Amino acid sequence: MDIKSIDDVEIKNSTVLVRVDYNVTLGKDKKIIDDLRIRQTLPTLKVLLKHKNKLILCSHLGDPKDHDRTLTLLPVANYLSKLINHPVILVNDWNNKKSRPLFDRQNSAIILLDNLRFWPGEMANDEDFARSLAELADIFVQDAFGVCHRPHASVIGIPKLLPSYAGLLLKSEIETISNILEHPKKPTISILGGAKISTKIKMLYKLIDRSQVLLLGGGMANTFLHAQGHEVGNSLFEKQEGEEARLILNHAKNKQVDLILPIDVIVKTKQNRIMTKLLSEVKKEMIIGDIGPATRELFASRISRGKTIIWNGPMGMVEKSVFQAGNNAVYSAIVGDRQAFSLVGGGDTIASIASKKNVDRISHLSTGGGAMIEFIEGGTLPGIEAIKG
């Protein structure tokens, strides 16, 4: 892909505005629950600091309505400062011209602008808003793969106004995901889960075209099971996607891809009991929360034969501990297979495994959720196109 990264040019003694994706999950006490997205930006920041650049970072956090101050990036600023062992100053009213002298006084500290989505101009891709960001720096570095699918000011607006380059994280996401899709070692086993198929239809087709086996779990699998005539009770599923699900099943059959759905499930009964059921035993009043033990075994055995493994979307309602076994089984099978190249992405998927042992055995943990899906679907993203020379 013909984008220039900070590896291809010498950026030194400049003021560099870096778009990062610090949209991390915060606990009630404002503790950072999963720091992957912060850690993954360190290589870019360190290279730029080494070459005596002044760094101004910008990111969004959540979707703050009415300037919701609880979504300040202050906890991230403090966390980053410890992680990189360098002072980090959070600037809230950077958009106010009176704050500008502060930027000049901060010679060595990293500046982090507070949540970009505090200003409506960010999501509206307002030109004046993009200009007020661009005016802060000489050079723009895009390192927020996770937000490159959004047509926002800090994604597609700023590159029109400043010389722009990809950071090392963005470069590595593009190269790794492209490579796995274009030159996969076979067999490729793709595992998809999460709530809906409606947001992943194109991805399902793309993965069928590139995989030998497709394993489906989560709420998404319920839509397929229902389309096949199985009872899914009160479970999460998309009735209106039944026809699409049948088309996808047909496409897999035509392509001779082994599309495997759960053969048993864990349900919650009307009496709130958690039970294992065969598909034929699911009743109207039940809720499917996870794949069952026979499915876990089936999925694990297929994963263990893969040379390339792609996983996006949890296997069940993993926010409840009683429905985590399916997800854990898939995770263990992936990290247990040390011969395969594994790509795992999606915000919920990463959050569901972040604190587990052996996460480092996953070959590539993508920082993208929606961005990873759209990149697989389309081979590029608006934010990547924006920084092409």
Task: Name the minimum Å distance from CB 346 to ligand 3PG.
Answer: 8
- Is 347 a catalytic site residue? yes
Whether the bond between 187 and the residue before it is cis, its omega within 30 degrees of 0, is: yes
Question: Cα–Cα–Cα angle for 38, 307, 184, nearest 5°?
Answer: 75
Among residues 76 and 213, whose Cβ is nearest to ligand 3PG? 76
- Is 370 a catalytic site residue? yes
Among residues 290 and 348, whose Cβ is nearest to ligand 3PG? 348
Task: Spot the catalytic one: 347, 368, 369, 383.
Answer: 347
Neighbouring residues of 60: CB distance < 8 A, sequence distance ≥ 6 = 21, 23, 115, 116, 117, 122, 147, 152, 154
Task: Name the minimum Å distance from CB 349 to ligand 3PG.
Answer: 11
Task: Name the minimum Å distance from CB 128 to ligand 3PG.
Answer: 21
Q: Phi/psi class of residue 191: alpha, beta or left (left: φ > 0; alpha: ψ in -120 to 50)?
A: beta
Among residues 177 and 252, whose Cβ is nearest to ligand 3PG? 177
Neighbouring residues of 347: CB distance < 8 A, sequence distance ≥ 6 = 25, 369
Binding site for ligand 3PG (CB under 6 A): 21, 23, 63, 146-147, 150, 347, 369-370
81: helix, coil or strand? Answer: helix
Task: Name the minimum Å distance from CB 146 to ligand 3PG.
Answer: 4
**How many angstroms separate the Cα of 389 from the Cα of each of 2, 56, 163, 243?**
8, 22, 9, 42
Task: Spot the catalytic one: 196, 242, 255, 379.
Answer: 196
User: Distance between CA 137 and CA 155 in Å, rounded?
Assistant: 15
Among residues 60 and 296, whose Cβ is nearest to ligand 3PG? 60
Among residues 208 and 220, whose Cβ is nearest to ligand 3PG? 220
Task: Return the amino acid letter for 324.
Answer: Q
Task: Spot the catalytic one: 217, 369, 370, 383.
Answer: 370
Task: Name the minimum Å distance from CB 68 to ligand 3PG.
Answer: 14
Question: Which residues are catalytic, by number?
Answer: 37, 196, 347, 370
